[in-house]
C-alpha cells in the first residue's frame, strides 16, 4: 500500500500524502505500544507514562487524518477545518498532565502508573473520567465521517457512504473493545485497515474521472444516468465558447488550461451533496442534480456565470428542472430543452462578440 501511494503521488497527491501520513502514524504508534508494554514489564513507570501519553495524543490525530482522507472539501468552509483541529490541541494539553508526576492531584487526573507488589513490574491505572477524553474525540471524528456519509448517501454516490459506514462500524467496535479490555493497540490496526480500504476505493473512483479536469468522465455519466435516472431532478448543460479559437491561436496547452479552469469553476459552484459534474466530450460538460431543490440549481448557475464573468473564459449554459411530482418532463426531454437553451446562449455570445462560430 505504501508503494502504491508513492506511485500515485502525481495522480492523487492529496489523498496519497494523507495515506502516507496516516500509515506513518500507525507505524509509530505500534512502536509506542510495544515500548509501553515493555516499560510495564520492566517496572519503568516514568517511561510508561511518557509513551502512554504519546499514544493518547496520536490516536485522535489518526482519526483526524482519516477525516482528511475521506476526501472532504474544506476549500469552502475553512473554519470547519480549523474547528476539527481544536479537539487535537485540547487533547494534547490534557494528556501531558500525567507527565507532572510529582504534582498532586494533576498527575492522577487522566492516568498514572503504580508499581506492583512484586516491585519489578508496573501497572497502568485510569484516573478520572478525563481518561476517556481521547476516546470521545475519536467518536467525534467518527461523527464527522458519519455526517459525510449521510450527505453523500442523500446524493448519488452512495457507494462512498457504504465504504465509510463500514469503516465507522469497525472503529466503533474497536474503541468499545479498548475501553473494556484496557488494550490500546487494537485501534491502530483497525484504523490502518480502514484507511487502506478507503484509499483503494478512492483510487478506484479516480479511474472513472477525466485526467485533465478531474471531473467524472462520459462513461460514468452514462452509467449514472442509467442507474439513477429516477432521482435526477435537475441538470445543467455547458459548452465552452471558442475553444477551437484558443487552440488554433494559443496552442492546445492553453486550451487544456482553459478547460481545467472552467472545471474548477463548475466544481466550486455546485452543491456537492446533491450534484455531480461530468466532462462528456472535449468542451462539453453536464451537471446532474440528484433529489435537490430548484433553488440549488438556480444558485449553481448564477454562481457559474458570476465566476466566469470574472475569468477570461466563457461558456454557454442551459439548464432544466425536472418536476417528478407533475411527471411532465422526462430526462430525455430535459436534456433536449437544456441543450436548446445552451445553444441560444451560445448564439447570443457569438452575435455579441461578432466572432465566427465553429460549425459541427
Mean pLDDT, rounded, for 139-165? 66
Q: Which residue has the higher pLDDT, 286 or 135?
A: 286
Residue 324: per-residue pLDDT: 63
pLDDT one-digit tens code per residue, 227-283: 888 888 899 999 998 888 888 888 888 889 999 999 999 988 988 778 889 999 888
Instruction: Answer yes or no: is pLDDT of 98 > 80.
Output: yes
Of 249, 354, 352, 232, nearest to 288 (Cα)?
232
pLDDT of residue 62: 82
Is it the case that residue 357 has pLDDT exceeding 60? no
CATH architecture of residue range(s) 2-206? Up-down Bundle (1.20)
Q: Please state, in angstroms and rounded to a whole number, the distance separating the CA atoms of residues 28 and 201.
A: 25
Rounded CA separation 278/263 (Å): 9
| Mean pLDDT calculated for residue range 56-84 | 72
Question: Between vectors from CA 327 to CA 323 and to CA 331, what angle results, nearest 5°?
Answer: 70
Ordered alpha helix ranges (H), the chain:
2-7, 13-41, 45-69, 78-94, 133-154, 158-181, 186-206, 218-228, 243-250, 252-269, 294-309, 331-353
Q: Report the interhelical angle of 252-269 vs 243-250 (nearest 10°).
A: 140
- Confidence (pLDDT) at 103: 76
CA dist., res. 135 & res. 10, Å (int) = 35
Q: Is 216 left (phi over 0), alpha (psi -120 to 50) or beta?
A: beta
What's residue 360's pLDDT?
45
Of 266, 253, 277, 276, residue with least CA distance to 311: 266
- pLDDT computed for residue 169 by the predictor: 79
Task: Report how far residue 79's alpha carbon sits from residue 91's, in angstroms, rounded to the nearest whole number.
Answer: 19
Pick 47 or 147 by higher pLDDT. 47
| pLDDT over 80 (residue 45) | yes
Which sign, positive or negative, has the C-alpha torsion 343, 346, 350, 351?
positive
Minimum mean pLDDT among 89-103, 161-175, 176-190, 216-230: which range?
176-190
Please, which pLDDT band fits residue 55 given cuts at 50, 70 and 90?
A: confident
Spatial separation of the C-alpha atoms in residues 193 and 166, rounded to whole Å = 11
Mean pLDDT of the 329-333 span: 83
Order of all β-strands in the sheet with 284-290: 275-279, 284-290, 232-240, 315-321
- What is the rounded CA–CA span in Å between residue 41 and residue 54? 19
Q: Residue 184 has what pLDDT? A: 60
Phi, psi of 277 (to 5 degrees): -110, 140
Residue 197 pLDDT: 66
Per-residue pLDDT at 196: 67
Q: What pLDDT was estimated at residue 330?
A: 83
Range list for CATH 1.20.1070 in the chain: 2-206
Distance CA 66, CA 192 (A): 9
The residue to which cell 442551459 is assigned: 318
Average per-residue pLDDT in the chain?
Answer: 80
Q: What region, left, alpha or beta, does residue 346 occupy, with left being phi > 0 and alpha being psi -120 to 50 degrees?
A: alpha
Distance CA 93, CA 317 (A): 53
Which pLDDT value is given to residue 228? Answer: 83
pLDDT of amino acid 147 = 73
Distance, first Cα to last Cα, the chain: 46
Q: Distance between CA atoms of 226 and 197, rounded to whole angstroms?
A: 27
Residue 220's pLDDT is 85
- Give the three-state DSSP class for 11: coil
Average pLDDT, integer, range 103-116: 84
Dump pLDDT digits (tens) for 285-315.
999 998 888 888 999 999 999 999 898 888 9
Question: How many residues make up the chain in this entry?
Answer: 360
What is the fold, at CATH topology level, of the domain defined by 218-353?
Alpha-Beta Plaits (3.30.70)
Instruction: Quote the pLDDT of residue 106.
Output: 82
Asked if the model's pLDDT at residue 160 lies above 70, the reply is no
Domain with CATH 3.30.70.270 in the chain: 218-353
Average pLDDT of the segment spanning 213-223: 86
Segment among 29-33, 213-217, 350-354 with least mean pLDDT: 350-354
- Measured between alpha carbons, how far is 82 from 238 in angstroms, rounded to an integer? 35
Amino acid at each position: 500500500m505504501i508503494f502504491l501511494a508513492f506511485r500515485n503521488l502525481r495522480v492523487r497527491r492529496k489523498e496519497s500524502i494523507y495515506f502516507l501520513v496516516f500509515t506513518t502514524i500507525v507505524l509509530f504508534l505500534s512502536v509506542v505500544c510495544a515500548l509501553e508494554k515493555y516499560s510495564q514489564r520492566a517496572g519503568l513507570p516514568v517511561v510508561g507514562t511518557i509513551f502512554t501519553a504519546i499514544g493518547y495524543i496520536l490516536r485522535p490525530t489518526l482519526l483526524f487524518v482519516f477525516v482528511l482522507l475521506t476526501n472532504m472539501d474544506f476549500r469552502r468552509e475553512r473554519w470547519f477545518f480549523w474547528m476539527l483541529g481544536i479537539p487535537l490541541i485540547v487533547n494534547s494539553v490534557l494528556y501531558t498532565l500525567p507527565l507532572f508526576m510529582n504534582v498532586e492531584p494533576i498527575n492522577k487526573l487522566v492516568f498514572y502508573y503504580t508499581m506492583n507488589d512484586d516491585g519489578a513490574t508496573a501497572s497502568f491505572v485510569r484516573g478520572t473520567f478525563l481518561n476517556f477524553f481521547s476516546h470521545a474525540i475519536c467518536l467525534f471524528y467518527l461523527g464527522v465521517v458519519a455526517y459525510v456519509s449521510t450527505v453523500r448517501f442523500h446524493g448519488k454516490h452512495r457507494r462512498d457512504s457504504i465504504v465509510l459506514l463500514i469503516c465507522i462500524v469497525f472503529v466503533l467496535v474497536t474503541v468499545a473493545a479498548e475501553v473494556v479490555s484496557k488494550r490500546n493497540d487494537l485501534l491502530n490496526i483497525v484504523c490502518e485497515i480502514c484507511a487502506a480500504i478507503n484509499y483503494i476505493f478512492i483510487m478506484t473512483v479516480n479511474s472513472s474521472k477525466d485526467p485533465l479536469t478531474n471531473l467524472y468522465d462520459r462513461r460514468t455519466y452514462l452509467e449514472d444516468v442509467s442507474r439513477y435516472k429516477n432521482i435526477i431532478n435537475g441538470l445543467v448543460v455547458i459548452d465552452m465558447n471558442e475553444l477551437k479559437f484558443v487552440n488554433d491561436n494559443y496552442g492546445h496547452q492553453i486550451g487544456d488550461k482553459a478547460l481545467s479552469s472552467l472545471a474548477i469553476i463548475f466544481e466550486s459552484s455546485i452543491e456537492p451533496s446533491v450534484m455531480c459534474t461530468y466532462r462528456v466530450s472535449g468542451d462539453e460538460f453536464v451537471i446532474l442534480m440528484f433529489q435537490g431543490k430548484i433553488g440549488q440549481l438556480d444558485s449553481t448557475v448564477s454562481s457559474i456565470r458570476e465566476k466566469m464573468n470574472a475569468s477570461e473564459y466563457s461558456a454557454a449554459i442551459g439548464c432544466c428542472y425536472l418536476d417528478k411530482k407533475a411527471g411532465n418532463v422526462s430526462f430525455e426531454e430535459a436534456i433536449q430543452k437544456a441543450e436548446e437553451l445552451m445553444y441560444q446562449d451560445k448564439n447570443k455570445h457569438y452575435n455579441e462578440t461578432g466572432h465566427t462560430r465553429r460549425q459541427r
